[in-house]
Structure formats: structure tokens, C-alpha cells
Amino acid sequence: MSTLKSDYSKDNYCIILAGGKGRRLWPSSREGRPKQFIDFFGTGRSLLQSTFDRMANIVPQDHIYICTGAEYVHWVKEQLPDLNERCLMVEPVNRNTAGSVAWAMLNIQKINMTANIVIMPSDQFITDEEAFRKNIIEGLDLVARQHMALIMGIKPSRPEPGYGYIQMGSDSIQENVFAIQSFVEKPEREFARLFMESGEFLWNTGIILCGATYLRECLRKLFFELFVPGMCENHDYTIDQIIDFIERNYASLPNIAIDQGVLQQSDNVYVMKCSFGWADIGTWHSIYEGMQKTDGDNVVLDSKVIMEDCRNNIICLPKGHIGVINGLEGYIIAEQDNMLLICPKEDSSALIRKYVNEVGIKYGDEYI
């Protein structure tokens, strides 16, 4: 655990999203154990555990809710043994992040009508913990005072086509908080370069802060059937009633992401230009770009290797395996259990998606 300290507020909560499949990091991230449950960097903590630790320095530990799928409950319980049972939100079926956020928000608001919520992906890498804590606390204070949602943005350091971008508007409600002019999802590399050079765009971290009341209004437009009479205005419902309703109706909810399906269609959504170092652990290429390089600009993720005449590669091998690599440039070398992947690193997401499908069809799901 970090030694950072924070003045906890009884009104501050966090929803950690930990239900993704992580297939773009195959074969290290597998169907049975996706990336959020993996310690990629040899720290002794998985991405989920690191995210939980980070947020436990900002909000009370029993105010942190984990949203995941039924197939991953055992990983959450194993890695977070002290998690309160009521804080584990298990989706009956995968309905993307908007549905799981709505469910967690109903549980939080039943306990605290004036809650402020951080919606946090479980698969991110933060290099400046103190700056992160400062930005989040500042953002929570802002959304507690104003009826709004706030997305954390980062100044681009490279033209990364694998990230979403937010264009800052000219209106500002404080020094580092701007109205949003547009959202752009994963642009072509040349457009990403133009965005970076313009100075008008920030990377969209997917970290969202808002008051529960404002979030409820946004979600009600999308999930009207979830906010049945009595639950909507009077909050006259029990947690057991929420669970029963979810089990019967969750599969019929729209399969939509919280930022794309809700916030991009809402008013009073702003972006904060943040100062913490950040990388989305979503693709091999994004990990490579965000990590410290060895000689030859290689990235070696907690692996034993001997390399000669190698440049611009990313290596991830299992414990107990040693890689001897000669004369390779610009490649991913990733091995896990019964799968080895060697493929070009540049814009590899489409290639990996293709290989995952082909391997599954030809050899079976045990390799996925």
C-alpha cells in the first residue's frame, strides 16, 4: 500500500470497473484471467489491486465498489480478500460499463443520497501517485459543489491512435477545467498527430467524477426501465429489491459504455487537464509507449531475457522461462501457458483480434 494520506469524506465513493476481457493483450491476458488480475510489472500487485490501493488512499476502503462478471468473482475475492461483500457488483451478463455503473450507483445512493463518485477503470498505470491524488480530490470537491460530470484528461505525449481524445472548448470554469467541444474515439495516427500538435486535445483516461444525483439523471435517460416508480423519486427500495430486479432485467439493458452512451449525450460535462503520468494498459503498443525502455529501446515486462541486436520490442514471458532473442526489431514476444505470440508491434490490435478468432476456431477456446 502507498503511504499517501488523504482527508477522507463520508460522501466520496469509487466504482472500479473490472469486468473486461482484455483480449488486445492476448495471450498474456486470457479468457480465464484477463489483464486486470495480472501483475505485468513485477510489483507484487495486479492492476486491480494497484487501482484499489490507489483509491483507498482517497476514499474510505468500504466505499470502493468493484464491478465484474460472474466468471471473475473468484479472482476479485482472492486478490481483495478484505472487500466488503456488499461492494462486489457481479453482472449476470456483460452489458458494458453503463449498466454496471447504474447498478453500483443505485446501491451507493441508497446508502448516501449526497454521494460523489469516482468511476475508475481497473487497468491503468499511474506514475505520479501524489499528483493523481491531488487531481482526484480537487475534482471531487468540484462535483460536490456543481451539478456536473468531470472527465480526467491528460496532455498527449505522442500521437497514440489507441486512445480516445477530448477537444477542450474555450469556456473554462476554473484554471484547469474546460467545457468539452468534442470527443474522438481512437483516431488514425495522422489525426492523432494533428490533435497532439494543436494543443486543443487531451487523452481521455476514462476516469469520471460526478455527484450521484447528476449521474442518476444521465443514466435514467438511457435505462428508464431500471429506475422504476418508487425507486426513482422516493428511493423506497431495498438492496435486495435492486438485486432481484437486476437478475431479472439486466440482460435486456443496452450494451453501452458509460462515457460514449451517457456522458457524450449529456449537458454539463467537463474535462480536467491533469498532471499525473498515465498509460492505459489496453494494448501491447500502448504499454510499450508508456513504459521505461532498456538499451535498444526495448520494453521487458518482468521477464528474463538475453537480447542481442534487438530494438523497439516488447517482451512478456512467464515466470521460470528465459528468452534468447537476436536480430528482432519492432515486435511483440508474449507467452502465457500454452500460447506464444510473435507479431509486429505497430498497430497490432487488429492483428491480435484476427489471431484470437482464428486460434479459437482452429484449436478451441482453451487457447483463448
User: What would the pLDDT profile of 247-295 be if each residue is shown by its tens digit?
Assistant: 777 777 778 888 876 777 788 999 999 989 898 888 898 889 878 899 8
| Spatial distance between the Cα atoms of 103 and 114, rounded to a whole number of angstroms | 17
CATH for 278: 3.90.550.10
pLDDT at residue 84, as a whole number: 92
Question: Does residue 90 sit in helix, strand or coil?
Answer: strand
Is residue 1 situated within a structural domain?
A: no
Parent domain of 305: 285-367
Query: Among 266, 250, 280, which Cα is nearest to 20's?
Result: 280
With cell 483463448, the residue in question is: 368
Q: Which of 4-8, 26-30, 46-50, 117-121 has the lowest mean pLDDT?
A: 4-8
Segment 215-228 mean pLDDT: 72
My answer on whether 325 and 190 are in the same domain is no
pLDDT at residue 6, as a whole number: 45
Distances (CA, A) of 215 to 123, 202, 258, 262, 266: 23, 23, 10, 9, 10
pLDDT at residue 236, as a whole number: 63
Is residue 225 situated within a structural domain?
A: yes
Is residue 55 situated within a structural domain?
A: yes
Residue 83 scores a pLDDT above 70: yes
Model confidence band, residue 228 (pLDDT cutoffs 50, 70, 90): low
My answer on whether 302 and 276 are in the same domain is no
Is residue 306 situated within a structural domain?
A: yes
Q: Which of 5-14, 119-128, 190-199 has the lowest mean pLDDT?
A: 5-14
pLDDT at residue 253, as a whole number: 77
My answer on whether 67 and 173 are in the same domain is yes
My answer on whether 254 and 348 are in the same domain is no
pLDDT at residue 229, as a whole number: 47
Model confidence band, residue 136 (pLDDT cutoffs 50, 70, 90): very high
Q: What is the pTM of this model?
A: 0.91
Question: Does residue 256 sit in helix, strand or coil?
Answer: coil
Model confidence band, residue 322 (pLDDT cutoffs 50, 70, 90): very high
Among candidate residues 238, 258, 282, the one where a domain is terminated: 282
Is residue 3 situated within a structural domain?
A: no
My answer on whether 236 and 314 are in the same domain is no
My answer on whether 255 and 313 are in the same domain is no
My answer on whether 189 and 319 are in the same domain is no
Percentage above 70 pLDDT, the chain: 94
Percentage above 90 pLDDT, the chain: 64
Is residue 7 situated within a structural domain?
A: no
Question: How do residues 25-73 score in pLDDT, each as one tens digit?
Answer: 999 999 999 999 999 988 999 999 999 999 999 999 999 999 999 999 9
pLDDT at residue 153, as a whole number: 97
My answer on whether 249 and 356 are in the same domain is no
Q: Which of 81-95, 140-154, 226-240, 324-338 has the lowest mean pLDDT?
A: 226-240
Strands 149-154 and 269-274: parallel
Among candidate residues 225, 250, 282, the one where a domain is terminated: 282
Is residue 258 situated within a structural domain?
A: yes
Which residues pair with residue 339 across a beta bridge? 336
Segment 135-151 mean pLDDT: 95
Segment 209-227 mean pLDDT: 80
Among candidate residues 282, 302, 320, the one where a domain is terminated: 282
My answer on whether 247 and 146 are in the same domain is yes
| Spatial distance between the Cα atoms of 259 and 98, rounded to a whole number of angstroms | 8
My answer on whether 144 and 213 are in the same domain is yes
My answer on whether 239 and 327 are in the same domain is no
Is residue 5 situated within a structural domain?
A: no
Residue 156 scores a pLDDT above 50: yes
pLDDT at residue 48, as a whole number: 97
Domain count, the chain: 2
Model confidence band, residue 128 (pLDDT cutoffs 50, 70, 90): very high
**CB contact at 8 A, 113 and 268:** no
Give the contacts of 364 (CB within 8 A, at least 6 positions apart).
none
My answer on whether 201 and 310 are in the same domain is no
Mean pLDDT computed over every residue of the chain? 89
| Spatial distance between the Cα atoms of 145 and 143, rounded to a whole number of angstroms | 5
